[in-house]
Structure 1
Amino acid sequence: MGRKTICYRGSLKSCNYHCSYCPFSRHRASAAELERDRQQFVRFCDSMEKKAAESDIGAVFIVPYGEASIHRWYWEGLGRLAGLPGIDRVGMQTNLSFSVEACLNIFEFHCGGNDVGEMPGARKGKGRPQKKLCIWATFHPEMTDVDTFSDNCHKLTENGVNLCVGAVGVPQNLSLLGRLREKLPLDVYLWINKMDGLRRNYTEEERTAFSVIDPFFEVELNPPAADAAMCADRCFVEADGRVHTCNISKAKTVNWYTGNAEEIFRPLCGRKRCSCYLAYGGRADFEGRRHFGEYPIFRIPSGHI
C-alpha cells in the first residue's frame, strides 16, 4: 500500500468565468456562502494537522466545482498543508485566472518558510515550497486566449511550480490546442478530456490528432471497469465531512471529522466504470503511474517533480 491521497471539494459553486456549458458560471455566490466555504476549508486544514501523520497522507488535491483559486483562503490553506511534516504534494484545479505573483506569495508565507531554499540571494518564491505545489490548469477558449493562458503557465513554471495543462477535446478546437502545445514549456504535459456533449463518436482522424497531443487520450475514451480494491489509498472529502472513495463513488456512512482511518479509507464504489480521470487516475493499477509517479492524480510527469 502507498501513501494516501486526499481530494477535497468545498461548497463553492461559483466561478469568475462564464463558459456556456457550465452551470457554476450562472451562480453568483453571496458573502455568506463564501464565508461558509472559507470556514469549511479552514476546518479541513485544521483536521489535517492531526490526520496527515495518523493516516500517512502524502498529498492533498483541491478539486472545486467552481473557481477556488481566486479566493485567498485556498492559497492560505494550501500553504498550511504544504508546511505539514510528511506532506509531499498539494494542488488545485483552476482556470488559471489568478494573479500568479500575489497568490504564490500568500502560499509561501503560509508554508512558514520551512522549506525555503538556502541559496544566497535566491528570490523568495523560487525555493522548495513551490516544488510541493501542483497546479492542474484548464484552458477555456471561450474565456481566454492562448497567449494569455500560456504566459501564466510560464510564470508558474519559472517560479518552480509543477504544472499540467488541459482542455476538453472539442474537435473544432484542434488547431487551437495545437497552438497551445507550441506555446507551453516543453516539459508541461497537455491532457485532453473527452467531450461528453459531442453526441457522436470521435472520428479516427480526431482520435489520432488528440492522441498526438495527449498519449493517454485513448484511456480517457476507454475507462476501466470499476474495482474498489484498487482504491484503498485515497478518499474524497466533501465540505461537510462526507467521505467517498473518489469523486463519483457512493457516499460512505463515515464522516471525515468523526470516523477513524480504517472506516474512512475502506473502499466503497457502486459504479460500473471509472468514467473520469479523477476516478481512474487515482487507482493503484492505473498504467499512468509509471509516467506520473506516486501521485498520478495531479497529472504531472514524475520526471518533472
Structure 2
Amino acid sequence: MKLTVLYRGPLSSCNYGCEYCPFGKWKHTEEELAKDRADLERFLAWAESRTQDTLAVFFTPWGEALIWPWYQEALARLTHLPHVERVAVQTNLSCKLDWVPRCRPEKLGIWATYHPEWVKRRRFVAQCEKLSALGVRYSAGMVGFRRFAAEAEALRGELPADTYLWINAVKDGKEAPYTPEDVARFTQVDPLFPVNNTRHPSLGRACRGGESVISVDGEGTARRCHFIPEPIGNIYAPDFDAALKPRPCSKQTCGCHIGYVHLEYLELDRVFGSGILERVPTLPLGRPPAAP
C-alpha cells in the first residue's frame, strides 16, 4: 500500500507573531510540549512499524515545528527508513539547519514560508541557499496580501531561477477581491497563482483523501483531510486499514493547496509529481487546469 500521511499534532505555537495567524507568539507550557513530543514519538513508532507499506509523511503543524529538536530528529529518522519515500514539513525556516546533514537529503522536502514582517529577505534567501547546497528540494512562498506584492517580486529576483515561489491567495473574505491587475501581478511571480486563487468545485468529486492520503492528529485519529472533521478511524487501531477506501468529497469547494492538490480531476499530481508534498512542480509550468 502507498499511503501519504499529513501529521498535525497538538503543537499550536510559533516564534513569529503574524497578525493574521492565531498561533503567532503563542507559547506552550512544559506539559503541553511534553504531550506533543510523546504524541510524535508514538506516531514515529507507528511509521517505523509499517514496513509492508510505502509511506510519505508531511508535517503540517499549527505553528512552527522545526524550532523544536524532536521534530528535527523525526525528519532525520523517517528519511532513513527504507519504506518511507518522502518526508516534508511546512516551516518558516527560522531554525538552524545543522540537523539537515543527519537526514537523507534526497528524501527530505521543505515547504518554506517567507514572512517579511518577521525576517529580513536576505536572511530567508540565505537559508534557502543553504538548503540548495545541502541537496534538499524545497519551495518558497508568501501569503498574497497586496501590501506584499513588491516584496514577492523582490524575493523572486533573489531566489535561484529554478526555485518555485508560490503565492497563497487570500480567500478569507476579510480582504477586498483581487483586481485583474492584482492577479496578473501575482501570476508573474507564481504561474500557478490562478489555481490557488480558486475555490475548486469538489462536492462528489473523486479525491485521494481518505484512500491513499490521510490527515492524522496527535491521538492517531485519522480524517480524509484537514478540512473535513469527520474521523474515518484511528491509525493505532488494529483494523485501521479497512477504513482506507475511495470517498467522494463532501465539501462544496476546496481552496487550500494541501487539499485540492489531491482532487483527481485537477490532475495536479502530473504537475507536482514527486514534489507534491513540498509543493515543488516537477514539470514545466503551463496553463492552469481548465474550469470543470
Q: Please, what TM-score do these two structures have when normalized by structure 2?
A: 0.89
Please say if 1:103 is aligned against 2:117. Answer: no
d(CA) in 2 for partners of 1:236, 1:265: 14
- Identify if the C-alpha distance between structure 1 residues 27 and 185 changes in structure 2 by more than 3 Å, giving closer, same or farther: same
Deviation at residue 197 of structure 1 after TM alignment: 5.0
Partner deviation per Cα, 1:101-142 (whole Å, 9 max, x = no partner)? x2214x43xxxxxxxxxxxxxxxxxxxx11111000001111
Out of 218, 230, 254, which is 1:251 matched to?
A: 230
Deviation at residue 222 of structure 1 after TM alignment: 1.6
Out of 206, 218, 222, which is 2:194 matched to?
A: 218
Query: Which residue pairs with 1:85 in the alignment?
Result: 82
Deviation at residue 246 of structure 1 after TM alignment: 1.1
Q: Please, what TM-score do these two structures have when normalized by structure 1?
A: 0.86
SS in 1 for 2:200: coil
- Identify if the C-alpha distance between structure 1 residues 16 and 265 changes in structure 2 by more than 3 Å, giving closer, same or farther: farther
Count, aligned residues: 279
- RMSD, matched Cα: 1.9
SS in 2 for 1:88: strand
d(CA) in 2 for partners of 1:46, 1:204: 49
The amino acid across from 2:222 in the alignment is V
Deviation at residue 82 of structure 1 after TM alignment: 1.1
- Identify if the C-alpha distance between structure 1 residues 55 and 250 changes in structure 2 by more than 3 Å, giving closer, same or farther: farther
d(CA) in 1 for partners of 2:96, 2:40: 21
Out of 147, 155, 177, which is 2:152 matched to?
A: 177
> Which structure 2 segments of 5+ residues have no match?
285-292
Please give the residue correspondences for 1:181-260 in structure 2 after superposition, counting only pairs within 5 Å: 181-195=156-170, 196=172, 198-226=174-202, 227=204, 229-231=206-208, 232-258=211-237, 259-260=239-240
d(CA) in 2 for partners of 1:66, 1:260: 28
Partner deviation per Cα, 1:47-95 (whole Å, 9 max, x = no partner)? 01222x33432x1100000100101111111111111112211010000
d(CA) in 1 for partners of 2:270, 2:109: 18
Deviation at residue 265 of structure 1 after TM alignment: 4.9
Query: Which residue pairs with 1:49 in the alignment?
Result: 48
> Which structure 1 segments of 5+ residues have no match?
109-128
Percent identity over the alignment is: 35
Deviation at residue 264 of structure 1 after TM alignment: 4.0
The amino acid across from 2:196 in the alignment is E
- Identify if the C-alpha distance between structure 1 residues 273 and 216 changes in structure 2 by more than 3 Å, giving closer, same or farther: same
| Contact kept in structure 1, 2:9 and 2:218, CA below 8 Å | yes
Query: Which residue pairs with 1:133 in the alignment?
Result: 108
Query: Which residue pairs with 1:298 in the alignment?
Result: 278
Please give the residue correspondences for 1:24-43 in structure 2 after superposition, counting only pairs within 5 Å: 24-43=23-42
